Amino acid sequence: MRMDYFETSLFPGVYFEDSYVLGVDERPGEVRFLIDAVLEQTHPQYTEPGPDEQYCYREGNLVFPAVRRLRWISRTFAESIDKDGSVDYGNIDTFTIEGDTYRLSGDWGELEIVSETPKFILGHQTA
């Protein structure tokens, strides 16, 4: 049965649709999305948004471990440059789950990943 990520308990208090993809790191057996994530009020790290922000944003990694299959349906990575000069690749517009298959899409592209259960880790981690 296919479901949206928010219908599960995998990512409590994280709202991906308005989060910004800053990059995708593909490694043998792992895929990481570096994200400027929207934290909802229910998230333990939530703080009130700044005066120029609509949401509470925190940088983090959406990690897909033990990847058995990765299939890019499209790979566009259309850059968006913010007024402060920072670059992002849009949002995660869709994120569905069916068993151990995860399908994500946005301005950056669309991919399907078969992996163990993904996790979201706050903070910038490159290793």
Predicted local confidence at residue 60, as pLDDT? 96
Predicted local confidence at residue 127, as pLDDT? 44
E runs forming strands in the chain: 3-4, 14-27, 30-39, 56-65, 69-75, 80-81, 87-88, 94-98, 101-106, 109-114, 119-122
Predicted local confidence at residue 1, as pLDDT? 80
Predicted local confidence at residue 119, as pLDDT? 96
Environment class of 69 (CB within 10 Å of its CB; exposed 0-12, middle 13-18, buried 19+): exposed
Low pLDDT (below 50) residues in the chain: 127
